Amino acid sequence: MTLRCHRVLALLGALSLSMTGAAARETAPPSEYLDEQTGATVTVVDKPLVFARERTERAANLRDYVNLTAASVNRGGKIQYVLIAYVWSTLDARYDPVVATDTLILVADDRRIRLNANGKTPQDLGIAQPVRAPAGQELKPAVFPTDLDTLRYIAAARTLAVQTGAEGESFDYELWEDQRASLARFVAFLNGER
């Protein structure tokens, strides 16, 4: 073989490994770790669902976002399931979304799932470090108790959206980063399908 053929084969091999690595990252299992500060075993979906609403009244390509991260917390055999929400924006801080983060409506197909925060922080539940928080943002997460059946339903829904509200207004967020497959893997993992 010529040197050129060897280089082509090496390049194809590297490309194949790169694609395999990318495919593995796309189907990564949930993260599971022992929180050293709280002693809880925390399981977190590998990628959050991300919802967005356009803010074109301020400028082009600006959006408000809602990230929803599923997690389970096992403290001495008592398991709690939660959705952790981060509401954030690409706008200047003066125009951050005015949203009451104690309630979100998750619209999954024809079902409206009202998520009510229980007033607890992730730390109260046993999650000492922020999980899947948007990079470069200082955000206070809202924690919404849920159950495994609801998470399963959300993962299988054909359509998803989020509604938030504050000061008598309602805001609709469309699915921006569809991570239902990641949520389905999370539910399967918690069901022992590892």
| Cβ burial 44-79 (10 Å sphere, 16+ → b, else e) | bbbbbbbbbbebeeeeeeebbbbbbbbbbbbeeeee
pLDDT of residue 99: 60
- Of the pLDDT bands very low, low, confident and very high (cuts 50, 70, 90), residue 25 is very low
- pTM for the whole structure: 0.80
The tens digit of pLDDT for each residue in 74-127 reads 999 999 999 999 988 877 655 555 565 688 999 999 999 999 988 888 899 899
User: Of 12-16, 60-64, 176-180, 189-193, where does the model show the most confidence?
Assistant: 176-180
